[in-house]
Amino acid sequence: MLIPRVIPCLLVDQGGMVKTRKFRKKTYLGDPVNVINLFNRFEVDEIVLLDITASKLDRGPDLDVVENVAEECWVPLTYGGGITTLQQIEKLIRAGVEKVVLGTSAALNLEFVKEASKEFGSQCIVGSVDAKRKLFGGYECVYLGGKKVISGSPAERAHQLAEAGAGEILLQSINRDGEMTGYDLPLISSVTAATDVPVVACSGAGKREDLLLPILDCGASAAAAGSLFVFSGKERGVLINFPERSEVEMLLKPSLVRE
């Protein structure tokens, strides 16, 4: 039986790798290729790489960075950031990317998800849902790094993306991003209940035991994390790390027993 996936979610900002807090405050981690090489030493299932400034600057994917990373990456690579055309997706696949994340482009034009899934297959298309808590309760969906709001709840948005052809949902919580206080489990549960496609839950993991909760308690197919895998200690010193495969299996064993 397959072990549920545990995925590093890494961020690129104008050529350098960073980690954010609440999609804002950034800590520089180093050269993307160097960071990827460190993760190559661990048995990661795949890597998600997001360019967090491409859409804000209204530019396409930095193919030089993607090609350099993909050349060094030994595991399946998922990329998101600045994707607006089918031609860009084709170039990314040729560069070594296995799946692409559509966020801003999908928010502006859901039809693009349909076109992309038809052209490349739904297994290649990941729909991005960035959620933010409302002041008086509930959630809203945002894009462009949280600057703009799109109508509908995260659950409704995930359903729309899946209906349009996305084969997977990447769910992130702005409020939990980089805080290391644990995943937003009610948010994750609402999204997994709204769609039949796999949901990758991200944002909030503060300790390795947190990784099993989105899968065991909420029905997510994978747990992704950033800060947990790039920082160490209360001072958040930069230290690339990842649990051994045996530890991952032990952490996620309850989900396998339940199945």
Which residues are identified as catalytic? 130
Task: From 225, 49, 80, 63, select the one nearest 144 (Cα to Cα).
Answer: 80
Residue 72 phi/psi, 5-degree rounding, is -95, -20
Cβ–Cβ under 8 Å, residues 48 and 78: yes
- Tokens, residue 196: 């039949």
Cβ–Cβ under 8 Å, residues 231 and 238: yes
